[in-house]
Amino acid sequence: MTERNRDRSGLMNILSEVHTYSLSELNSSIRETLELSFPSAVWVIAEIAEARSNPKGHCYLELVEKRDNTVIAQVKANIWSSVFRTISPKFEKATGERLKAGMQILLSVNVTFHEVYGLSLNIRDIDPAYSLGEMARKKKEIIERLKKEGLTDLNKSLLLPLVPQRIAVISSSTAAGYGDFINHLVYNPAGYRVYHTLYQSSMQGQEAEASITASLEDIRKRLAFFDAVVIIRGGGSQLDLSCFDGYSLAAAVARFPIPVITGIGHERDDTVTDIVAHTRMKTPTAVAEFLLSGMRDFEVRLLSAQQRLTDLAKDMLKDEGHRLELLAQGISHLLTRRFHDEHKRLNTLIHGLRQGTGDVININRNRLYLGVNRLGAGIRAYLQAQGSRLKHLEQAVRLLDPINVLKRGYSITYHRSRAVKDFEQVSRGNLIITKLYKGSIKSTVEEKDEK
Examine the domain organization and report whether 75 and 210 are in the same domain: no
Tell me if 363 is assigned to some domain: no
427 and 445 in contact (C-beta within 8 Å)?
yes
Please check whether residues 163 and 259 belong to one and the same domain: yes
Q: Which range marks the domain in which residue 276 is found? A: 141-297
> Would you state the pLDDT for residue 343?
85
Q: Looking at the predicted structure, is the pLDDT value of residue 154 above 80?
A: yes
pLDDT, the chain, mean: 84
Do residues 122 and 230 share a domain?
no
What is the pLDDT, as a whole number, of residue 94? 79
Whether residues 108 and 168 share a domain: the answer is no
Record the pTM.
Answer: 0.52
- Does the pLDDT of residue 239 top 60, yes or no? no
Q: State the pLDDT confidence band at 37, using cuts at 50, 70 and 90.
A: confident
The arithmetic mean of pLDDT across residues 148-166, rounded, is 92
pLDDT at 168: 95
Q: Quick one: what percent of the chain has pLDDT higher than 70?
A: 93
Question: What is the mean predicted confidence (pLDDT) over 138-150?
Answer: 90
For the chain, the domain total comes to: 3
Residue 88 and residue 99 in contact, taking contact as beta carbons nearer than 8 Å: yes
Q: Rounded CA gap, 31 and 23, in Å?
A: 12
Q: What pLDDT sits at residue 252? A: 95
Residue 356 pLDDT: 76
- Same domain flag for 79 and 36: yes
Q: Residue 199: inside a domain, yes or no?
A: yes
Instruction: Identify the pLDDT of residue 41.
Output: 87
Of 303 and 273, the one with more pLDDT: 273
* Model pLDDT for residues 370-401, shown as the tens digit of each residue: 888 888 888 888 888 888 888 888 777 777 77
Residue 3 lies in a domain: no
Tell whether the model's pLDDT for residue 311 goes beyond 80. Answer: yes
262 touches 280 (CB < 8 A): yes
Cβ contact 97:136 at 8 Å: no
The percent of residues above 90 in pLDDT, for the chain, comes to: 25
- Give mean pLDDT, residues 126-152: 85
Contact call for residues 215 and 201 (beta carbons, < 8 A):
yes
Same-domain check for residues 275 and 417: no
Which range among 202-206, 361-365, 397-401 shows the weakest confidence by mean pLDDT? 397-401
Q: Above 60 in pLDDT, residue 235? A: no
Quick one: average pLDDT of 389-414?
79
Which of 128, 158, 175 corresponds to the end of one domain?
128
39 in a structural domain = yes
Residue 312 lies in a domain: no
In a domain, 289, yes or no: yes
Contact between 173 and 198 under an 8 Å Cβ cutoff? The reply is yes
- CATH code where residue 48 lies: 2.40.50.140
Q: Report the C-alpha gap between 142 and 253 in whole angstroms.
A: 14
Is there a single domain that holds both residue 146 and residue 291? yes
235: domain CATH number is 3.40.50.280
- Pick the last residue of a domain from 267, 297, 327: 297
Q: Is 236's pLDDT higher than 50? A: no
- Could you report the per-residue pLDDT of 51-90, keeping only the tens digit for each? 998 999 999 999 998 888 788 999 999 999 999 999 889 8
Residue 409 has pLDDT above 80, yes or no: no
In the predicted structure, residue 261 carries a pLDDT above the cut 70: yes
Higher pLDDT, 164 or 424: 164
- Which of 101, 128, 155 terminates a domain? The answer is 128
State yes or no: pLDDT of 308 exceeds 70: yes
Higher-pLDDT residue of 159 and 302 is: 159
Q: Who wins on pLDDT, 205 or 325? A: 325
| Same-domain check for residues 45 and 172 | no
Same structural domain for residues 76 and 124?
yes
Q: Would 101 be classed as within a structural domain?
A: yes
The predicted pLDDT at position 6 comes to 59
Rounded mean pLDDT, 26-39:
83
Question: Confidence band (pLDDT; 50, 70, 90) for 238?
Answer: very low
In this structure, the answer to whether residues 216 and 105 fall within a common structural domain is: no
Residue 116 has pLDDT above 80, yes or no: yes
| Same domain as 292, residue 154 | yes
What's the mean pLDDT in 23-34? Answer: 83
Q: Dihedral, CA atoms, 304, 307, 309, 314, nearest 10 degrees?
A: -160
* 95 and 181 together in one domain: no
With respect to residue 324, please indicate whether it lies within any of the assigned structural domains: no
**Amino acid 375: pLDDT:** 84
